[in-house]
Amino acid sequence: MDRPSQPSKELLTFENPAPENDYTIRITVPEFTCHCPLTGQPDFADFVIEYVPDQACVELKSLKMYFWSFRDEGGFHEKLSNEVLGALVEATQPRFMRLTANWNVRGGIYTTVVVEHQKEGWNPPQRIELP
């Protein structure tokens, strides 16, 4: 019998299958949950992760378990958004990564936190607009 999945702070990676290309991976995590550090009430967010990998890509099941690990933790929106970006950058060392955290309403206010990382020396390709 398989052991049930457990929350984990370990982010696994796999080798980028096309490191010669600048391409974007976009991941949407619609069910992030944690607790307000002041009230203990649940907080909900959806995260959008966009990145240009270098040598490694994040493995999605470990990402799911990583996000699950925040369920019983408290933290301000800004702290948690930056913490998640930092862990993903440390694990994957991407050329570029942007994390957009869309936090659900708290006290009548919606919060969106956008954090970015760009590898030193990497220049993004110019976007091509087709007619």
Residue range 23-44, pLDDT digits in tens: 999 999 999 999 999 988 899 9
Where in the sequence is the domain holding 46, given as residue range(s)? 13-110
Whether the predicted model's global pTM rises above the 0.85 cut: yes
DSSP label at residue 124: P
Residue 2: per-residue pLDDT: 64
Position 127 confidence tier, pLDDT thresholds 50, 70, 90: confident
Number of domains in the chain: 1
* Active-site annotation holds for 22: no
Q: Annotated catalytic residue: which of 2, 22, 34, 36?
A: 36
Report if residue 49 sits inside a domain. yes
Report if residue 31 sits inside a domain. yes
Report if residue 117 sits inside a domain. no
Read off the CATH number of the domain in which 84 is found. 3.30.1130.10
**Range with the lowest mean pLDDT among 2-11, 72-81, 112-121?**
2-11
Q: Annotated catalytic residue: which of 43, 46, 54, 57?
A: 43
Residue 3: per-residue pLDDT: 62
Strand partners, 53: none
Report if residue 22 sits inside a domain. yes
Task: Evaluate if residue 1 carries a pLDDT over 60.
Answer: no
* Active-site annotation holds for 43: yes
Q: Which residues contact 94 (CB under 8 A, 6 or more apart)?
A: 51, 52, 53, 54, 88, 117, 119
Report if residue 4 sits inside a domain. no
Under 8 Å between Cβ of 69 and 9:
yes
